Amino acid sequence: MDIKETQNAPVSSQSEVELSSRREFFKKSAALSVTAIAGTSLAATNALAEEKGDPNIVEEVPWGVKLGDPVTKNRYGKPSPYEHNVVRRNSQLLASGNWYASIAMCPIQDMYGIITPNGLFFNRDHGGVAHVDPNRYRLMIHGLVEKPIVLTLDQLKRYPSVSRIHFIECPANGGPEWRGPQFNSIQFAKGMMSCSEWTGVYIKDILKDLGLKPEAKWMLAEGSDNSEMGRTVPIDKVLDDAMLVYGQNGEALRPEQGYPVRLLLPGWEGNLCVKWVKRLEFSSEPFFAKEETAKYTCLKPSGKAIQHFYPLEVNSIITSPCPEKPWTDLKDGEWVEIEGLAWSGQGTIEGVDISFDGGKNWQEASLKGLVLPKAWTRFSFMHKYKKGERLLLSSRAYDDAGRIQPTVKHERSVMGVESVYHRNAIATWEVTAEGKVNNVQVIS
């Protein structure tokens, strides 16, 4: 067969020359490893592998000597079976006694960049995942508008579309840990969030068509699932950047995210982003005043509660290392990249600081890739690992709204520990002398 012959063909003299000079380079950089930076210390490891005759280089690998799958095999592609551990996970501790009114956490320790693959987007439902027939999908927009309307999916898609990258976070993310760490896991401690590119229509654009009456101050959004999830949104947010989205990372929304249409309120509490949305009603009074809908409140030590607090605060977490991604394999003196995610529902991330001593001293990390408003922002810091050293590793993000993450002590002094929602205090990992990583809280 042609393919096999080509693969077994002898290498040309040209590539032999290239190979040997590469080997020379690896040897040289191994010798120079005293002054190693990340790249050259990796090169030193490579030179060793070549000298010892790594079988994965010198021997034939099974997938190289036979034909692969035909292109007709995977009509919808799946990750490599070797990635089978990268999945959403659920915990009895976070379930309301069943797996329908429940939550599955995103494996943020395994994400690259700032986009969550659709199959890994965190999933929170109050009555299970609804499976909506798009042909029978209807969206009613009524109340204080001149021209009330019922739209089919096709009609909704006829409005001019926009694509925006935004995170969605449940305000209860990190909520079980007000009194102290509960999960030695980043996925369970911080995985109630994900970030996608969303495609849909600005509600303000639809309202230009329908004519919003000036008395309209609130918008009720209702889902067509059995929980309905009625939520009321102030009109300013609706007219700012609220969207009805049907696209997620280049394809239709997944059923778990509200197929075929969900409400997206960039940067605001995830629970307001009503999925499988069937109705928007505009009114002069907030609907929760009539006890038709619920909202989350934050109980303060004074016994008073913050009633209206919709945007999510500036926040960050180090994703590598973390309890799932320890430093146990690192050698003394090796360079390692500390990475993490920062986000703010109130604006754009301006910077992130890293501390190795639980917040006494701080150094500035760099932001990498896209830095967008109300979106995950990836940060990075190169660190020379010292074997046997115990670290208290923290990150502290600040945004262009002038907000910075509080210390745990400061957050507790203002909010106490009785609240569930909106925890954004500085998070800390303990890196032990052996390189294991533990979820801890620095209270002082």
Ligand X SMILES: Nc1nc2c(c(=O)[nH]1)N[C@H]1C(S)=C(S)[C@@H](COP(=O)(O)O)O[C@H]1N2
Q: Residue 350 is which amino acid? A: E
Residue 126 touches ligand X, criterion: CB under 6 A: yes
Q: Which is nearer to Mo ion, 151 or 170 (CB)?
A: 170
Options 161-169, 270-278, 307-315, 366-374: segment touching Mo ion (CB under 5 A):
270-278
CA atoms of 380 and 368, how far apart (whole Å) = 7
Using alpha carbons only, give the angle 191, 85, 107 rounded to the nearest 5 degrees: 15
Q: How many CB atoms lie within 10 A of CB 39?
A: 9
CA atoms within 13 A on the CB side of 325: 19
Burial group, residue 188, by CB count within 10 angstroms (0-12, 13-18, 19+): buried
Among 41, 102, 124, 241, contact with Mo ion (rule: CB under 5 A) = 124
The tokens describing 137, both together, are: 């999908």
Options 16-24, 29-37, 225-233, 306-314: segment touching ligand X (CB under 6 A):
225-233
Burial group, residue 250, by CB count within 10 angstroms (0-12, 13-18, 19+): exposed
Per CB under 6 A, contacts with ligand X among 227-266 are: 227, 229, 256-257
Options 26-34, 273-281, 384-392, 403-411: segment touching ligand X (CB under 6 A):
273-281
Q: Which is nearer to Mo ion, 187 or 271 (CB)?
A: 271
Among 273, 341, 342, 365, contact with ligand X (rule: CB under 6 A) = 273
Q: DSSP for 227-247, please give it.
A: T---EEEEHHHHHHT-EEEEE
Residue 105 touches ligand X, criterion: CB under 6 A: no
Among 166, 275, 295, 422, contact with ligand X (rule: CB under 6 A) = 275
Among 109, 271, 419, 428, contact with ligand X (rule: CB under 6 A) = 271
For residue 406, the partner it binds in ligand X, Mo ion, none, with Cβ less than 5 to 8 A by kind, is: none
What's the closest the beta carbon of residue 203 comes to ligand X, in angstroms?
A: 16
Residue 201 pairs in a beta bridge with 244
Largest CA distance in the chain: 81
Per CB under 6 A, contacts with ligand X among 161-220 are: 168, 170
Per CB under 5 A, contacts with Mo ion among 143-202 are: 170
Q: Which is nearer to ligand X, 269 or 350 (CB)?
A: 269
The pair phi, psi for residue 108, each rounded to 5°, is -65, -20
What's the closest the beta carbon of residue 136 comes to ligand X, in angstroms?
A: 16
Per CB under 5 A, contacts with Mo ion among 289-328 are: none
CA atoms within 13 A on the CB side of 11: 8
What's the closest the beta carbon of residue 196 comes to ligand X, in angstroms?
A: 9
The tokens describing 211, both together, are: 């004519």
CA atoms within 13 A on the CB side of 77: 7
Residue 257 touches Mo ion, criterion: CB under 5 A: no
The pair phi, psi for residue 148, each rounded to 5°, is -60, 155
Binding site for Mo ion (CB under 5 A): 124, 170, 270-271
Binding site for ligand X (CB under 6 A): 121-126, 168, 170, 223, 225, 227, 229, 256-257, 270-271, 273-276
